[in-house]
Amino acid sequence: MCGIVGIFGPSEKEAAHRVRVMCEKQAHRGPDDEGLQVLNLPSGFLVFGHRRLSILDLSQAGHQPMENPETGDCLVFNGEIYNFGELKKELEASGSIFRSRCDTEVILHAFARWGTACFDRFRGMFALAIYEKSKQRVILARDPLGIKPLYYSVLTGGFVFASEMRAMSASGLVSTQINRRALSGLLAYGAVPEPLTMYQDVHLLEAGTYAVLDVSDHDQVIREIQSNRYWDFPHLQGRPKRSQAIEKVRDLLEHAVSSHLVSDVPVGVFLSSGLDSTAIATLSAKAAQGQINTFTVTLTNNPDLDEGPEAEHTARLLGTKHHCVKLSETDVRKQLPQYLASMDQPTVDGLNTYIISGAVRARGIKVALSGLGGDEFFGGYPSFRDVPLLARWAPLAGWIPPKLRSRSAELLFAKHSKSQRLKAKELSTTKPTLRNLYFRRRRLFSDYEMAAFGFDKEELYLNEDFLPDESLPDRCLNRQGNTGGIGILETRFYMGNMLLRDSDVFGMAHGLEIRVPLLDRDLTDYLSSLPGKWRVGNKDVNKPLLVDAMGTHLRKELPGMPKRGFVLPQSHWMAGPLNEHFVHLFDTLARSGVVEPKAANEVWQDFLEDQQGPNWSRAWMLGVLGAWMERRNLPCIRIE
């Protein structure tokens, strides 16, 4: 795992200096090595920069930027290609000569042989930039599900890219004016929607795409980047026998985990009491004959939230080298300033990932496997059951006048929190499509509250769900039926915009590479092609496809246990020991001018009056936004 940066512009000295500054801002992503290369082109200067976290081939043979001596192509790469061994054998058979044991060199030779078609052959997580000398062009590419980020901005006669937003702003080449379209998406859902970012002129390359920039003509002014999609969600593939599908899923799971264990440094596994991490730990222990490190982080002050005993029991059965990291609430709260400082863009989530990653890295581990993706591809969220049911029955209520539906919803939720009542009212009158119902269910703030904050979706050119058209919310929804459609929406908008982004940022904040074997390309493609209803569990068994594929490898009581994870008592902290700090953050937010102060204050008061349910997360989101604004002190612009 690494951090990559690049600038194309007219001045060698200036571009090289800015790339060095950008690399320094990403030093936490690659503390083991750094590199810089200047390419003197007829049209200007292309400078690549790299920070390396050494995982495969720890020697200098893996140093980046890396050139292909036969073609003159140059590469900077962030991520891991898990099938690089198979690709290397195929390329050697066709005449390629390798000088290292790393996947970076395999990418260069694969590109020389197959061009941009190579991206579809990679199995892994990646964000990369290649200078193709023969055609004098730069190609940016990102893995299918967007596990690794890649930000870019088009300049007058040039461009800049990086792995993190902080490096983009450090370049001094991009405006740091806040994009209110992105900000509205953040407030609506707790994360900025791809391809927008919090900065007006910075964009996130879409997952599963590559972009080509022609740098052959010094008179050409690059105005925008057109992305080319090389991967998309597959169609349903008929109806195979379920028993055969279970066997196939089992084989793919085993291969995914074993390939994700390939490393020249020790590998750990995040182990909770849940299905996903237990499956990963079980298959890892099998592949490594038990010689694997498992980690559970617990809070000593909160025995009700303690997953330690269950995880330790699992680890004993598997024979892993288990580490139960016990932290006090005071220990965790002391890390809050560092967590906020490491936040690349504001998000409602990620504190737990930051805490766990720090604890694992402090014990000498550079690579950790996570169960992220299990809920999206094995049907773990309630939305897989709730939203299709709503989509089926909601049209029948169409004869009821909207005002009556809204009033009925308000009465039904009379004893719930204010935010839940607002959500129920708006849900009762929204268009009864799968997409609309899904987004309403995921909303953090309602339309009413968004208006109170000062956001108008028509003024900002956003759709009815407060999303930009560029996010393509209807993409592929007709391919897999209602249940499969929910999987696509959860994968793209919740996992993609929040969970994966937070996993990358907060893992790399500690120099920890987090790998996600449940998002293996072959596994997810196959799962997406199966009938959606096979993913939906019941009150006795959650994630039936995963449970059946794991078979007797899982403890028999595990499938019926409720979904759990490393939970922090953030509501308690905001009302107690962090109260004064959050009052300060809300005051900072009010003074920033990005939201209406009265509306923000109402959110804080609602939380103080009712600290249960969703109120805490809404208050946390605004506090985090206040902290982000305080660190940057950025101006804000409105879309005209």
Q: Over 66-116, what HEC string results?
A: EECCCCCCEEEEEEEECCHHHHHHHHHHCCCCCCCCCHHHHHHHHHHHHHH
Q: And the tokens for 145?
A: 């599900």
**Is the same domain home to 169 and 277?**
no
Q: Does 339 map to a domain?
A: no
Closest CA to 159 of 68, 225, 255, 63: 225
pLDDT of residue 239: 77
At CA 478, angle to CA 472 and CA 483, rounded to 5? Answer: 100
Which amino acid is present at 502?
Answer: D
At CA 127, angle to CA 189 and CA 371, rounded to 5? Answer: 60
How many domains does one find in the chain? 4
**Is the same domain home to 519 and 623?**
no
Closest CA to 77 of 114, 102, 57, 60: 102
Element housing 545 (H / E): helix 544-550
**Is the same domain home to 400 and 506?**
no
| Domain limit, last residue, from 481, 499, 519 | 481
Q: How far apart, in whole angstroms, are the C-alpha atoms of residue 537 and residue 382? A: 10
**Is the same domain home to 22 and 108?**
yes
Q: Does 343 map to a domain?
A: no
**Is the same domain home to 530 and 472?**
no
**Is the same domain home to 510 and 473?**
no
**Is the same domain home to 454 and 549?**
no
Q: Does 565 map to a domain?
A: no
Entry pTM = 0.94
**Is the same domain home to 213 and 313?**
no
CA 474 to mean position of chain CA atoms: 20
**Is the same domain home to 49 and 131?**
yes
**Is the same domain home to 56 and 147?**
yes
Domain encompassing residue 455 = 384-481
**Is the same domain home to 252 and 366?**
yes
| Domain limit, last residue, from 506, 531, 560 | 560
pLDDT of residue 223: 61
**Is the same domain home to 270 and 180?**
no
Q: Which residues of the chain have pLDDT under 50?
A: 634-640
Contact 161, 140 (CB under 8 A): yes
pLDDT of residue 635: 43
